[in-house]
Amino acid sequence: MRVLGVDPGLTRCGLGVVDGLPGRKARMVAVGVARSDASHQIDQRLLAISVQLDEWIEEHAPDTVAIERVFAQHNVSTVMGTAQVAGLAMLAAARRRIPVALHTPSEVKAAVTGSGRADKAQVQVMVQRLLALDELPRPADAADALALAICHLWRPAGALGAPQRAPGSMTAAQRAWAAAEQAARARG
């Protein structure tokens, strides 16, 4: 299964492509950042990100697109730009009939580190280890995109769009992710 992870952002949109199968080690295919110029008008910034998203999808042909679920932040303009870019990613996938999955930041952190409260540095280190990379994936947006892809690959059996696994084959990080997902759903 090939997953394109998208960490939406209007200035920097993290993109990471990971291949993997249930019970096997994940492999990084590509990582990068789609950028837009903050001095341009919003429509042109969204167009720039959209073009780059389309290029990544065409080049890497993912089976699924995993996108960070937008959550409320104190800065309304930041959350609006993030939500708009997430919508672009969903639309780019939908046009190609590629399934989309949304994951909360705490679900992603729990999947790769075992803790839903991990900081960005911890996520970068664990992504580097899990994908056996020579260097930390940078910037943090790119590492987050790879973490999203890994998170989706490791979804527990029975979750919508999840790879199927043998009972009891989840790692500690995957069990923590499942617990974080259940807690997030319980909070509504």
100-150: pLDDT as tens digits:
999 999 999 999 999 999 999 999 999 999 999 999 999 999 999 999 999
Q: What is the average pLDDT score of the chain?
A: 87
* pTM of the shown model: 0.82
Q: Which residue has the tokens 């997030």?
A: 184
pLDDT 10s digits, 31-52: 999 999 999 999 999 999 999 9
Detail the residues annotated as belonging to a binding site for Mg(2+).
Answer: 7, 68, 141
Every domain of the chain and the residues it spans? 2-187
Report CA-CA distances (Å) from 63 to 4, 18, 45. 8, 10, 27
Q: Which CATH code, of 3.30.420.10, 3.40.50.300, 3.20.20.70, 3.30.413.10, is assigned to 2-187?
A: 3.30.420.10
Pick from 129, 123, 181, 188: nearest CA to 152: 181
Q: Which residues are catalytic?
A: 7, 68, 141
